[in-house]
Amino acid sequence: MRRKILLLISCLITALLFSCATTPRVQYGSPEQVETLTQEFGSTDLQMIAEKMVNSLLATPLLQSGQRPVLYVHRVKNKTDEHIDTKSVTDKIRVTLLKSGKVRFSAVNEVNDELVKQLEYQTSSGIVDPTTAKQFGRQVGTDYFLYGEITSIKKSSGRVKDVYFKFTMNLVNIETGLIEWADEKEIRKQAKKPLVGG
Amino acid sequence: MHRLLSIIMACAILLAACAGTAPNVLDVQAGPGGLSSKKIEVNDKVLARQLAFGEVSVRPVGSSLQAQVMVQNLSSRDVNFEYRFIWYDASGFEVSSLTAWIPATLAGKVSRGFNSTAPSDNALSFKCMIRKPNPLNDM
């Protein structure tokens, strides 16, 4: 009996070792899962920032007035020493805010050349039916714009590395120049090298 | 023989501990004036001994709702966990766009409020879930 169990365990260990040894294992994961593969800015940091900013923005009286103000995202300055796709952060915020139905976003800041080209084509080429051609001078003026910055402080001592990210976002009233809303999200990540290896 | 069985049992427990556990869930229905009803579903009894759902506040912000759930660390040590809010409309359809698990830490014996604003006007109920950290760090 004892010999049989030992044989079974040996077989299981051998099978496990062989299954790990050949090709890399690929599997789909949940984008909602917390990611701590490295200390660098990652998907969970992006999601944490978006969650905080959207929750805060949606709670402001400005967005709850029912007037659906028109916004655009200016930019988020990356003041860290690593590459961060800040557009990906602002896109996540923009998409969630748009889906709330409480704001509208202007595309002028991002695709103005394409808009002008299309308007010229529709009004001047003679190809488009004039009754359906869109006219110049009808774009909606934006009420507010969002801008922000992300900074980081990195420290290390011995086997421990610490990184602190701070993301700040502001909503500016274009007419008055006043910052009508601002919030920030702080993130701390620590990594500890193992005693052996690493 | 008994020793062998103990080793096998210990290995099985270790493997089970590595897998993600079901979260503890606070299910809240909001009424016209705020909180209407709440129900707690405990799936992880070990976590429930460390973290407890406390007071729930729901208030209107404009035409939407804002919720705050107090989470209390019952132990005297720091507890790392993950949480998320998912909002639903009257028909039970999920209306949240941001449903990622958010990592958090509560110091020993500390109670803290976690907030969420309804993603749209038709969001009338929500679930606040907490679970032990289950990060993607190695496959």
Q: Which residue of B has its CA nearest to A28?
A: B139
Total structural domains within chain B: 1
Q: Does residue B16 lie in a domain region?
A: no
Nearest to A87 by CA among A37, A142, A148: A148
Q: Does residue A29 lie in a domain region?
A: no
Is B99 at the interface with chain A, CB within 8 A? yes
DSSP state string for A38-49? SSSS-HHHHHHH
Q: Does residue A47 lie in a domain region?
A: yes
Q: Does residue B91 lie in a domain region?
A: yes
Q: Which residues in B79-136 belong to E strands, given as ranges?
A: 79-89, 102-106, 111-117, 123-131
Q: Does residue B5 lie in a domain region?
A: no
Q: What residues form DSSP beta bridges with B115?
A: B68
Total structural domains within chain A: 1
More confident position, B34 or A45: A45
Q: What is the residue whose two structure tokens read 């809010």?
A: B85
pTM of the model: 0.85
More confident position, B137 or A150: A150
Q: Does residue B114 lie in a domain region?
A: yes
Mutate to test the interface with A, among B8, B69, B98 (most CBs of A within 10 A): B98
B32: domain range?
22-131
Q: Does residue A132 lie in a domain region?
A: no
Q: Does residue B8 lie in a domain region?
A: no
pLDDT tens digits for chain B (139 residues)? 566 555 555 555 555 444 568 999 999 998 777 788 999 999 999 999 999 999 999 999 988 999 999 999 999 999 999 999 999 999 999 999 899 999 999 999 999 999 999 999 999 999 999 999 988 876 5
- Using left for φ > 0, alpha for ψ between -120 and 50, and beta otherwise, residue B92 falls in left
The token duo for A129 is 């039916």
CA pair distance B27, B41, nearest whole angstrom: 8
Tell me which amino acid residue A142 is.
T
The CATH number that applies at residue A163 is 3.40.50
Q: Does residue A123 lie in a domain region?
A: no
CB contact under 8 A, A47 and B137: no
**Degrees (nearest 5) of the Cα angle A117, A119, A124?**
95
Segment among A8-22, A80-94, A146-160, B75-89 with least mean pLDDT: A8-22
Q: Does residue A20 lie in a domain region?
A: no
Q: Does residue B12 lie in a domain region?
A: no
Q: Does residue A136 lie in a domain region?
A: no
Q: Does residue A19 lie in a domain region?
A: no
Q: Does residue B78 lie in a domain region?
A: yes
The ipTM is 0.84
Q: pLDDT tens digits for A103-133?
A: 999 998 889 899 999 999 999 999 999 999 9
Contacts of A94 (CB under 8 A, 6+ apart): A73, A105
CA distances from A49 to A7, A91, B115 (A): 52, 12, 14
Q: pLDDT tens digits for A75-111?
A: 899 999 999 999 999 999 999 999 999 999 999 888 9
A162: domain range?
38-106+141-192
The CATH number that applies at residue B116 is 2.60.40.3230
Is B123 at the interface with chain A, CB within 8 A? no
Q: Give residue A18's pLDDT.
A: 59
- Cβ–Cβ < 8 Å for B67, B126: yes
